[in-house]
Chains A and B, each alone.
Chain A
Amino acid sequence: MLAALTAFAITSAARLITGARALWLGCTPQPVQRLYFANHSSHGDFVLLWASLPEPLRRRTRPVAGADYWNTPGLRNFVIHNVFNGILIDRQRSEGQDNPLQPVLDALAQGDSLIFFPEGTRNLGDDPLLPFKSGLFHLASAQPDIEVVPVWIANLNRVMPKGRALPLPLLCTLSFGEPLQVLPDESKQAFLERARQALLNLAPKEA
């Protein structure tokens, strides 16, 4: 109950502040299993993406987030587990550990859709997109029939710049592109490059 209310409050606030507009350019909001991958420049990224999905899709779509940031006791922990049903992964992988992507693979096997940031960390520089980590390829090839959908989140880095508490009420758009799949005998490098290019193609042109 508390979680549902918090979810409603967070998504309403996100929409009110950013006027978030979802542009379904390459696909429609269908209830099929999908791996949404997006550019990452703010902690609000997955919240906005999650909020812009229609309710039935939202219930089966889980964000993948870094354990180091979210697994702190208190509000953050409650929000990521109870509100967003998020999957936390350990980004500081130590020796002799299991595959850090294992919880994500388990969720995929259950039929959940995911929100994933293949850059692995927030992009705070001037480049539009950092090089992709290999996680996206491993997830996509583990579940070959899943639709891998690129989503460009525009302007959120200006709404909530790093280290600032007060959001600016600028408008954000989310562009959903055409779904990708790993081709038979496509190399990891080739797929990641293709996915990165597909995401970049959705970005608005800079002046």
Chain B
Amino acid sequence: MKKNISLETVSSFILLLAGFLLFWEWIRPLEQITDTGSVHLFVIYTAICFVTSFLTRNGWAKFVIKSFSLLFILDYLFLDATLLSHEWIQTLTLELRYNLAVVWENDWALMTSFFRSFLFLLLLWLMSYLLHYWFMVANKFFLFVVLTFIYLAVLDTYTVYDAQLAMIRTFVVSFLVLGLSRYVKLMNNVDTTDRKKHVWSWMTPVLVIVLFATILGIYSPKLNPQWPDPVPFIQSTAGHVGFSDGPVQKVGYGEDDSQLGGSFVEDDSPVFEVIAHDDIYWRIESKDLYTGKGWERSKELDFQELTNGSVGWSTFSQQVETSSYSAEVRPVNQNQLPKVVYPYGINRISSLGQGQDLFFSDREYGHIEFESSEQNQNLSYNIEYDAPSFEINELRNNSNNDPEDIREQYLQLPDSLPERVSELALEVTEGEDNRYDKAQAIESYFSTNGYVYQIEDVSVPEEGEDYVDQFLFETKVGYCDNFSTSMVVMLRALDIPARWVKGFTGGVEAADQPPLPDDYSLYEVTNNNAHSWVEVYFPESGWVPFEPTSGFTNPTDFYVETSGDVNTEDYMIDDEETEEESEQESSEEEQENEPLNPAENENEVGGANNEEEGNDGNYYWIGAVLFILAILATIIYRKRTELRDWYLLKKWGRLKERLEIEASYVYLLEILEKRGMPRTKGQTLRQYAKEVDQRLGTSEMYDITLAYEEYLYRDQTSSSKDNKRLQGLFQQMIDQILA
């Protein structure tokens, strides 16, 4: 008996200790996320409160101990005078008086740290009281455990606090304590003699399971965050739409591409408007150094001032056919995009503002920036450009004589690039003998081989993993960065100089069009239109843009010269997907608007290749079947009671015909059990019948049972059968049960 008491004490001590450990997890982050120092003192105070609550039930004793230790801590932290000396009391009253006045005035910020610590200690006191009540008196742990997890998750998400270890600690402590508390609750109904016996037969599996789960949890591979960091999303919803940079995972133009991958959230906040003749691509810059994780520049940017806004360089050679246009760009918010976006073939740029604005450009990477003299930073500018049209046969006939500097800069690949990437590149381009056809083959490879466009659930390469390799062979899902980077890397692996280009797609025609000359429209470009694509170097023609991303169409003109008559406007070949052209053009707008819909893209991919279509079709079928099965399962689950009753009634219908008392009675026991009134093992039929009648408010069960007993135990020669009456009783009983 003595042992049992000590056992209870031990278990309640463990529960309280667990409560303290969990509460500690609440205090622990304070050091990092607030300017609170001396967290250890607060922890000590909490421990004192817990221990006091455990040791004594005397309310006065508890009060005295807790308030004195509170004073001690305050004295230690803030008061120089000897404890309880005259001076000490004076300081204390002064502090209290001042702070109460401050509180009265609602000048919370003026409170002294003495008073804040005092209030915090009071809060700890209160919390320890509450937890003691929850854990020891009410025996409720689950709520606090859940709250702790939520607290840690929120802190980990929104603050600098790294709750990884805290989570593990909390997991172990809370599950052990839940197991133990369950045991304590169970033991309340058990003879005292049996209690001790079961402690270890209960706690051993609890320990083993918790430890196993913890170790498994720690060492098992984990998915990357399944949804993007909520902080930028919340910020963007709150209106702080900014120049997305660094780790911000939001669709939009960003400068840092050294670590590609990860999911994105859509962001349709507008970046700029353009008046242009077509929804052409808007270039911002190119990058040349692939690191295995992302893109960097191999050279420093070198900005030169543009004289009279004339851009002294071009991405393609002068042999290329061009047609002249002009466009007007109006950034919505300069802070968001401190760069000039420009179309291929830019000649001149001029600001539309009043002041004298300066433009600078970097030739190598194609950056154009400006310095506005105006206060209003939203500078609009006009661009004159000669849009190139590439003649396909000319591209095919380009030599392979790349200049040495181009080869040096645009064939760089990391040593860590897996062999299979170049093997795939060779395989894809097998049978192509010229640079254009090879680029074409790679460009169309993705869309015809099941690579899926999506911005959610895109993984980031792990340590030692290659971004391109991961996309090509492992995940096969991604967005423009995946497609374009892969194409560049594959081309380089084939010794074809190529570079990675960033910018925006053409955007959507605005709903309200201002009066404009013919062929010109106002386009709205949003963060969703941020894009990246590929430029391939052709020694005679210069850099030619390619568009490998599934679901996107290269807006650049390609044409084949027929019978010497150059007619670029009439005869256009768009990549290889000529047959797709009309279909795509009609859905272009929609697509630009929602380039993120993977299903739609996949659909179009399917259109390009019949074999693929069959494959996709299969997936749809499987999906549809699974969906229907899921719905059926849900219906069955929700209607399970009705279905069971239906089945039981049907069974009764068959039994009724046969007039078999035994089968009927067994059936009755079955439905009673299914209705949550099972007969316990040692219960006699009579005891059970009484219980059932009491619960259902019936009397038939007892009558039936008497009759059944007679059938079961009486000498059959003397038993009298009144089947009609019995059948009636059965029917009534079953109606009652299933009612």
- The answer to whether A and B come from one shared complex is no
B residues near A, CB below 8 A?
Answer: none
A residues near B, CB below 8 A?
Answer: none
